[in-house]
Amino acid sequence: MYALADCNNFFVSCERVFNPSLNSLPVVVLSNNDGCAIARSNEAKALGIPMGCPAFKIKDFPHGDKVIMLSARHVLYRDISNRIMTLLGEVAQELEIYSVDEAFFKVPNDSDEHNRMMLTKLVANIERCVGVPVSIGFAPTRTLAKIASHVAKKDPNNKARVLGLTTPDSIEDVLRHTKIDDVWGIGRRLNIKLLSRGVHDAYMFTKLPRSLVQRIGNINLVRTQQELMGIDSVTINSVDINHKTIMNSRTFGHVISKKREISDAIIYFAQACATQLRQENSTAQSVMVYVRGDHFRQDLPFYHNSCTIRMPRPTASAMEIAKHALTAFNSIFREGFQYRKAGVMVNEIKSASVHQLDIFNGQDDVKHSRLMNAIDEINKRYGTKKIMLAPTITKGEWAPHQNHLSGGSKTLKFYSGMNPQSTLECTVAKAIEKEEWQDFAQDD
């Protein structure tokens, strides 16, 4: 039997932990760049504001001017998430952290009553210790557990916010009332395809022949159908934190045409990818850079392009990765276009322990590795991003907007002090500049 614990309106709930005056008010948390709503309080949902709604359209909803908009602070949310996962881990078997606000775990095939009591206590404990409301559903498969937690969250009469779907009758009843696109694994496209065949709810979907399901979607859709029928068919690789790709990208605060400003951003992204690689004790062998214009601006010519470079050896050095990322960037940058977004992705990621030192470049490797370790140590001791590659020390033109950071308690300031936007003032980069940076900073 699987359970899914799901935090309600997670980012908004986190903001409310530190600012209870937001309780019972319509609140949304905005994406990077203050672009669109990525979390909504129940009050904001009740006003009809959809997920992903652009921030500038919110005021046009009835009572939309009352909505409180907040810039996202992911460092804060990650910290609260860790606390919740720790509490879950204390009682849950085989915890699988699926996302920042969701985790699956196993519950015994005991009586429903026993599980319900145990999970109700867990929900209350998380609310008491962390202050974030959580819903839990349990069922024979993860997909059904997800539906159960969703129903538990929405039902105002379910004060415990715990629901078990364990009997064929209860499962059928809920599936008949579950819209097809509310099923985990069925998105916009598959919803259209299924609706066109007259499939409106999850129960009807379970009745389709398997061959047809395979034709409409792919093997994943077949798995989803089996899950709804109670057959365990999907797995979560949350245990495997070894990423296959690591990406860092941003939409800029406004369009940019200057090459230097975009290359500064590229270096920043490359550096962030390298830091994450080192945190995961892994290396990457290839790096991809992409740039794109603003597809909402009909008045500007649109250009987008990407370039992948296979590096001579696997590395987690910020300087190595930034060097190759700049080469890739130089090959795709075109003068005369306005750019709105850029990013760096590293691929072919392997564990650093299996990485063999290149016989000809061993000395460089050791030098880089020691330098990077020193940087990680200093950043760990004195705060993130205290040491950075030289071009990214000052806040660039490319920095996204973040105009709705809320002030408040001291705790809040402590957290926002960890925000990348406010810690770029340090100037310790000279050491790096002397050591290595000049080798390739001269290109541009």
Partner DNA sequence: TCTGGGGTCCTAGGACCC
Q: Find the binder of DNA among 64, 131, 133, 185 (CB under 7 A).
A: 185
CA–CA separation, 242 and 238 (whole Å): 9
416 in Cβ contact with 77 (< 8 Å): no
Q: Does 35 bind DNA (CB under 7 A)?
A: yes
Q: Does 170 bind DNA (CB under 7 A)?
A: no
Nearer of residues 112 and 348 to DNA, judged by Cβ: 348
Q: Find the binder of DNA among 129, 212, 219, 374 (CB under 7 A).
A: 219
Q: How far is the CB of 186 from DNA (least distance, A)?
A: 5
**Which parts of 129-148 interact with DNA (CB under 7 A)?**
146
Nearer of residues 128 and 188 to DNA, judged by Cβ: 188
Nearer of residues 40 and 441 to DNA, judged by Cβ: 40
Pairing of strands 102-106, 2-7: antiparallel
Nearer of residues 147 and 326 to DNA, judged by Cβ: 147
Nearer of residues 9 and 441 to DNA, judged by Cβ: 9
**Which parts of 334-353 interact with DNA (CB under 7 A)?**
341, 343, 345
119 in Cβ contact with 1 (< 8 Å): no
Nearer of residues 114 and 177 to DNA, judged by Cβ: 177
Q: Does 237 bind DNA (CB under 7 A)?
A: yes
Q: Find the binder of DNA among 9, 13, 33, 416 (CB under 7 A).
A: 33
Q: Does 402 bind DNA (CB under 7 A)?
A: no
**Cβ count within 10 A of residue 298:** 7
Nearer of residues 248 and 283 to DNA, judged by Cβ: 248
**Which x/- pattern, by CB under 7 A, does the window 84-123 give for DNA?**
--------------xxxxx---------------------
Structure letter (DSSP) for residue 437 = I
Joined tokens for residue 428: 């310790």
Q: Find the binder of DNA among 159, 188, 410, 434 (CB under 7 A).
A: 188
Q: How far is the CB of 283 from DNA (least distance, A)?
A: 15
Nearer of residues 7 and 171 to DNA, judged by Cβ: 7
Q: Does 276 bind DNA (CB under 7 A)?
A: yes
Q: How far is the CB of 318 from DNA (least distance, A)?
A: 15
Q: How far is the CB of 203 from DNA (least distance, A)?
A: 17
CA–CA separation, 315 and 371 (whole Å): 13
Structure letter (DSSP) for residue 86 = H
Write b or e for each residue in 161-191: b if 16 or more Cβ atoms lie within 10 A of its Cβ, otherwise e.
bbbbbbeeeebeebbeebebeebbbbeeebb
19 in Cβ contact with 408 (< 8 Å): yes
Q: Find the binder of DNA among 190, 325, 429, 441 (CB under 7 A).
A: 190
Q: Three-state SS across 142-177?
A: HHHHHHHHHHHHHCCCCCCCEEECCCHHHHHHHHHC
CA–CA separation, 427 and 394 (whole Å): 9
CA–CA separation, 255 and 340 (whole Å): 5
Q: Does 293 bind DNA (CB under 7 A)?
A: no
Nearer of residues 254 and 380 to DNA, judged by Cβ: 254
CA–CA separation, 134 and 275 (whole Å): 32
The greatest distance separating any two alpha carbons of the chain, rounded to the nearest whole angstrom, comes to 71
Q: Tell me how many residues contact DNA (CB under 7 A).
A: 47
Look up tokens 């809040």; give the residue: 412
55 in Cβ contact with 64 (< 8 Å): no
Instruction: Give strand pairing partners of 430.
Output: none
Q: How far is the CB of 436 from DNA (least distance, A)?
A: 25
**Cβ count within 10 A of residue 118:** 18
Q: Does 38 bind DNA (CB under 7 A)?
A: yes
Q: Find the binder of DNA among 82, 218, 403, 409 (CB under 7 A).
A: 218
CA–CA separation, 157 and 302 (whole Å): 52
Instruction: Name the site residues for DNA (rule: CB under 7 A).
Output: 31-33, 35-36, 38, 52, 54-56, 98-102, 146, 183-191, 218-220, 237, 243-251, 272, 276, 294, 296-297, 341, 343, 345, 400
